[in-house]
Amino acid sequence: MNNPNKKSAEAHRGLQSFLYSPKIAPYVFISPFVLVFIVFFIYPVISTGIMSFQTVLPGKTEFIGVENYTNLFNPTFLKAVQNSVVYTILTLVLLIPGPMILACFLNSKNMIGKNFFRSTLFIPALTSAVVATTIFRLIFGELSGSLMNQIIGLFGFKPIKWLRIQETSFAALVFLACWRWTGVNILYFLSGLQNIPEEVNESASLDGATVWQRFFYITMPMLRPITIYVLTISIYGGMSMFTESYMLWGSNKSPKDMGLTIIGYLYRQGWEQNNIGFGCAIGIVLLLFALLLNFAQLNLFGLFRKEE
């Protein structure tokens, strides 16, 4: 007679022991993430890998071996790789030391208007890339009335077609990146700086260390983990840059491909010309490229070395 109740009680206990089990419960809790990760990351990566060996067309999807990869050896792709690499290097050179020094200023006790600068420097990161780039396109307009041409006009220079010359268009791209990301990187470095114990600096100054000595021998080494982190995400961000280049020229088509990035080329081939298989091959190459660069960099800076 009591059977059903007994059963449900047993089931209840079973469920309880399942949920409270220290072995199983963690997996239950992380399962939403794991599922999302599998469906939206692992699966696309695998299927991109497969598609990179195919021509992908409705009704005519077939394997074509490594043809997509051999097709990559063309001047346009090389130009895209060159652009992405140069852009990445330039942003690294400017966007790591600059924000690091600025963060030191903002962290210093003697700085006036600290909070004001902290918030204003961060504002550009909050604007949408599309809006910001559209404004930059107007700033770097080629007519004499554009802001940049008016500024150089004050110094007696003639108007420049900023976005139609390789060097100046890259300057515009890098300028935009600096404007946008300085605040974010400052934030990273600030959080790192605030983790440096005050005593270390104090005892150093008691021992007579100058400001520069303290910066080079205390601040910089102690910021290493943060610097490596910023470096890693900057390499990834630089290699995958697309929106800025797309918006600066109003389309994916910059003159002589002077602003074409690897993602831009992927977009052009995959979507604009419906060569999805080829687009996948470009994506895979970019992935390997970014992984390789970051692996080399992390190795070089000793992230994989055991702390002694």
Partner 1 sequence: MKKVVAKLASLLLAGTMLAGCSGGGAPAADTAKNAAETKSETDKAAVSADGAPIELWTFQEIHTGFYEKMATIWNEQNPDRKIKINFTVLPYDDLHSKLLIALQSGVGAPDIADIEIGKFANYLKGDPQLLPLNDVLDPEVKSRVEIYGKDGQYYGVCFHIGASVTYYNKEILDQAGVDPASIVTWDDFRAAGKVVLEKTGVPMTTAETADPWSFWPMLASQGGDLLKPDGSPDVDSPAFIKAITFVQDMIKEGSIVTAPGGFHHAEEYYGFMNNGGAASISMPLWYMGRFTDYMPDLNQKMIIAPNPVWEKGQPRSIGLGGTGTAVTNQAKDPQLAKDFLAFAKISKEGNIEIWKTLGFDPIRTEVWDMPEIKEPNKFTDYFLNSPFDVLTQIKDEIPAINNGENLPKVMDALKTTTLFRAFEDLEDPAALVAEEQSKLN
**Which spans of this chain sit near partner 1 (rule: CB under 8 A)?**
36, 40, 56-60, 74-76, 141-143, 164, 250, 253-257, 260, 268, 271-274, 276
Comparing CB distances to partner 1, the nearer of 202 and 272 is 272
Comparing CB distances to partner 1, the nearer of 34 and 89 is 34
How near is the Cβ of 26 to partner 1 at its closest, in Å? 21
How near is the Cβ of 143 to partner 1 at its closest, in Å? 5
Q: Determine the Cα–Cα distance for residues 40 and 75; give it in Å rounded to an integer.
A: 33
Residue 158's region, left for phi above 0, alpha for psi from -120 to 50, else beta, is beta
How near is the Cβ of 260 to partner 1 at its closest, in Å? 8
3-state secondary structure 188-251: HHHHHHCCCCHHHHHHHHHCCCCHHHHHHHHHHHHCHHHHHHHHHHHHHHHHCCCHHHHHHCCC
Comparing CB distances to partner 1, the nearer of 158 and 305 is 158
How near is the Cβ of 47 to partner 1 at its closest, in Å? 12
Cβ atoms of 276 and 48 within 8 Å: the answer is no
Locate tokens 């600066």: which residue? Answer: 248
Q: Where are the beta strands (DSSP E) in 64-144?
A: none
Comparing CB distances to partner 1, the nearer of 192 and 259 is 259
Report CA dihedral (86, 92, 97, 102) to the nearest 10 degrees: 110
Residue (of 235, 245, 240, 220) closest to 92 by Cα position: 235
How near is the Cβ of 145 to partner 1 at its closest, in Å? 8
Comparing CB distances to partner 1, the nearer of 221 and 255 is 255
